[in-house]
């Protein structure tokens, strides 16, 4: 039996082990139950907030990813999105993302799916876990096909460009952190500001 862990902040790393993001009412708020290949966690954000934050973690935005889907495959209703093409992380919504009952499913982790009634689909994930999804099997199949099409449109050149962009973003973040650390040592409180600058200029004359 997997164990739920309630986190009070966005601590987990969105990675390729995540299979689905499911809305769960937690008191008066909407949380997300995140299913992973090795268990699950309950976090204090709605599924849409999780997706948006995950896009930010990979140096993009939810709106930007949606626009990319529109440009590549022409889908604007319930569009699948790529979160990280390098790790092949593609998710699709089971309803309009603004709907509170909307789930997000990882395309790569769907092993099989079956009709479980007129408005339900049973999804079998790669770790053999089963999940009932409140959408028809035909609609689920359409979302799987759309996501597969999106994958084919993102060619290796795009992936390389994305990798380079993420590397630059990480270096920029590291540079900012290094600057913040150095700022604590640049100015000595024991001497007037600028003394070392003027002293070095005199020595160079």
- Is 60 exceeded by the pLDDT of residue 145? yes
Q: What is the DSSP letter of 200?
A: H
Q: pLDDT by residue (tens digit) across 38-90?
A: 989 999 999 999 999 999 888 889 999 999 999 999 999 999 999 988 888 99
Burial environment of residue 158 by CB neighbours within 10 A (0 to 12, 13 to 18, 19 or more): middle
The tens digit of pLDDT for each residue in 81-130 reads 999 888 889 999 999 999 999 999 999 999 999 999 889 999 999 999 99
The CATH class of 18-158 is mainly beta
100 neighbors 32 (Cβ within 8 angstroms): no
User: Which distant-in-sequence residues (6+ apart) come within 8 Å of 128 by Cβ?
Assistant: 111
Per-residue pLDDT band at 20 (split at 50, 70, 90): very high
Query: In sequence order, what DSSP letters do the residues of 149-185 get, joined into one string?
Result: HHHHHS-HHHHHHHHHHHHHHHHHHHHHHHHHHHHHH
């Amino acid at each position: 039996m997997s164990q739920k862990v309630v986190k009070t902040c966005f601590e987990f790393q969105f990675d390729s082990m995540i299979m689905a993001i499911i809305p769960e009412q937690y008191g008066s708020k909407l949380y997300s139950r995140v299913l992973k290949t090795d268990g699950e966690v309950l976090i204090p954000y709605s599924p849409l907030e999780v997706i948006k934050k995950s896009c930010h973690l990979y140096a993009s935005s939810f709106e930007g990813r949606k626009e990319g889907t529109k440009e590549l495959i022409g889908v604007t209703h319930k569009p699948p999105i790529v979160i990280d093409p390098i790790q092949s992380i593609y998710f699709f919504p089971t309803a309009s993302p603004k709907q509170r009952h909307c789930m997000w499913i990882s395309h790569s982790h769907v092993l099989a799916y079956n009709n479980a009634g007129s408005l339900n689909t049973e999804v079998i994930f790669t770790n053999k876990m089963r999940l009932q999804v409140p959408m028809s099997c035909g609609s689920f199949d359409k979302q799987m096909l759309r996501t597969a099409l999106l994958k084919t449109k993102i060619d290796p050149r795009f992936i390389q460009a994305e990798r380079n962009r993420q590397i630059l973003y990480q270096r920029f973040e590291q540079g900012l952190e290094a600057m913040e650390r150095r700022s604590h040592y640049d100015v000595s409180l024991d001497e007037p500001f600028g003394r070392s600058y003027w002293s070095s200029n005199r020595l160079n004359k």
